[in-house]
Structure 1
Amino acid sequence: MTATPARASDGTRPYVLLSVAVSLDGYIDDASDERLLLSNAADFDRVDAVRAESDAILVGAETLRRDNPRLLVNSADRRARRIEIGKPEYPLRVTVTASGDLDAELRFWHHGGDKLVYTTDAGAAKLGDRLAGLAEVVSLGAGIDLGALLDDLGGRGIELLMVEGGTRVHTGFLAGELADELHVAVAPILVGDKAAPRFLDAAAFPGGPRRRMHLVDTEQLGDVVVLHYLPKQVDDDSADDN
């Protein structure tokens, strides 16, 4: 096992950590109306610890609509530690929506600390009044530019951004070479449903299938294995030709 490297931003954008739990066949949920819990108690606690270290947590609008999460730091001790070191009790919670189709009754808006929504000009026109008093709404223009989003977060003093999904958001960060670290919790579950969401969509990822990310750590938590990768670092070793 190798220690995870010290995290540091480039000074202008936050350090971006992607976090995901997947089945053995690469799904992040099943196709039912009830959320599939891929992680176990120990892994949920690990995620809570990473949330507590983060300055902001980001999820896409589809995750909000599908799972209706709160995205809180659940441990009172971890929240108290944040306050002790001069941070808000909860990280800033961020979502991204091109359409602006988000319900003001979602739990995301009504728990924890500050919330921030990145959207388009069209989305901002829908959300401005709907989320008044619940969240700050920021338009990125005609479309969603994740680089511009990171620039804005950096300008707000965000140093560590934890990204918890979903599929399109994770795909966008990895395809844009914007992720600094990747945590993949692999659960011993097979979903096998074409209608269920996967970790990633098809995309033109940097380097394509011959690029091997650098694995820096593995951790077993009960029946879940957590893999820590550095997507921007590439292993020179390649598989032997047979």
Structure 2
Amino acid sequence: MTQRPYVLLSVAVSIDGYIDDATPQRLKLSNAADFDRVDQVRAQSDAILIGAETLRRDNPRLLVNSADRRAARVAAGKPEYPLKIAVSARGDLDPELHFWHHGGDKLVYTTQAGASKLGDRLAGLAEVVALGDDIDLGALLDDLGRRGIARLMVEGGTRILTQFLAAELADELQLAVAPIVVGHAAAPRFLGPAAYPQHRMCLAEVTRIGDVALLRYLPRQSGDAAHEC
């Protein structure tokens, strides 16, 4: 059986659980030291995954910014940048987004309907993989395992993070809590409604990074294991 990658969810939230505000400009919740920590986590990953909604809203490059970390990857026999992955059910992705024009290889997981839109639109920019009529995250992880991806970093947004946690497919959650209150009803939250597993996660580590609190959870560990971790 193919070994699925280790799945690490990485997200910064406000005290009241938002990942952004409702303004057109992106809200920077992390501080400089925490952004550098995220860059390190990216450098340690084989692939970085993002959902289509976040891709459209934030237009990120999703790179390893440190030249030293990229050089260390190359010295270890890895590509300079992790594989960048977008997930889009509808295939509504603009080929002019920064994501496609920076970094190394790109991969898009979509549906059969989405693939019919993206095949020509992203020709020469990304490999497009159709998973069927719907996005099956288990099938997505199986495909990444067959590609040799051992460590997957998931950076959002709400829908993707919700799906991974609700399906019990996350091995680790790194939650950076910023000392900000957003309070905008229209702003995106960390998680949406779903049938989540009803157990206490294992809190493996708490770290202070300036004014940010980093909480490291292991979602798969529950019961006695959660209390002993």
- The amino acid of 1:143's aligned partner reads D
Match of 1:172 among 155, 163, 179: 163
SS of alignment partner, residue 188 of structure 2: coil
- Cα shift at 1:236: 3.4
Q: Where do 1:66-85 residues align within 5 Å?
A: 66-85=57-76
1:108 aligned residue:
99
Q: Where do 1:14-53 residues align within 5 Å?
A: 14-53=5-44
- The amino acid of 1:14's aligned partner reads P
Q: Deviations over 1:148-173 (max 9, x none)?
A: 00000000000000000000000000
1:193 aligned residue:
184
Provide the rounded CA distance (Å) in 2 between the counterparts of 1:25 and 1:169: 20
- Contact 2:2–2:146 under 8 Å retained in 1: no
Unpaired runs of 5+ residues, structure 1, are 1-9
- Cα shift at 1:235: 4.3
- Once superposed, which parts of structure 1, at least 4 consecutive aligned residues long, lie more than 6 Å away? none
2:140 aligned residue:
149
Q: Where do 1:89-108 residues align within 5 Å?
A: 89-108=80-99
Q: Deviations over 1:171-229 (max 9, x none)?
A: 0000000000000000000000110000000100012xxx1100011111100010000
Provide the rounded CA distance (Å) in 2 between the counterparts of 1:235 and 1:74: 39
Q: CA RMSD for the aligned pairs?
A: 1.2
Q: Deviations over 1:112-137 (max 9, x none)?
A: 00000000000000000000000000
1:183 aligned residue:
174
Provide the rounded CA distance (Å) in 2 between the counterparts of 1:151 and 1:169: 17
- The amino acid of 1:168's aligned partner reads R
Provide the rounded CA distance (Å) in 2 between the counterparts of 1:236 and 1:55: 32
Q: TM-score, normalised by structure 1?
A: 0.92
Q: TM-score, normalised by structure 2?
A: 0.97
Percent sequence identity is: 74
Provide the rounded CA distance (Å) in 2 between the counterparts of 1:134 and 1:11: 27
